[in-house]
Amino acid sequence: MTTTNIDQIMAQMRVMSAQAASAPKPVENPSEVNFGALLTESINQVNETQQQAGALKQAFELGSEDVNLAEVMVAVQKSSLSFEAMVQVRNKLVDAYKEVMNMPI
């Protein structure tokens, strides 16, 4: 290591030390997380993934030169995996709902 490298590393360490020593900044107006909006957004993303995979499959079947088989297979697997994950989340939500409904008052 040269002297300039050591000096640069030392300068970076000093900056990091100063940042660590300073008080954390308070969070200003934390954004609310709306569960319904988050769920809707994730469902829309799964739908979009499935639509893209379907469009790629159709383009490949029609013989488009821009689309190769590997792209199609990866897109189909991504859409399948995202759909399966969404189904698992739905199942967990249904189970949680049933558990809450069966709680004694």
Domain boundaries, the chain: 35-105
More confident site: 29 or 82:
82
Q: pTM here?
A: 0.63
Please check the confidence at residue 36 and state whether its pLDDT lies above 70.
Answer: yes
Output b/e per residue, 65-84; b: 16+ Cβ within 10 A.
eebeeeebeebbeebeebee
pLDDT score for 33: 75
Over residues 47-71, the mean pLDDT reads 93
The mean pLDDT of the chain is 85
pLDDT tens by residue, 57-67 = 999 999 988 88
Rounded Cα–Cα distance for residues 7 and 50 (Å)? 53
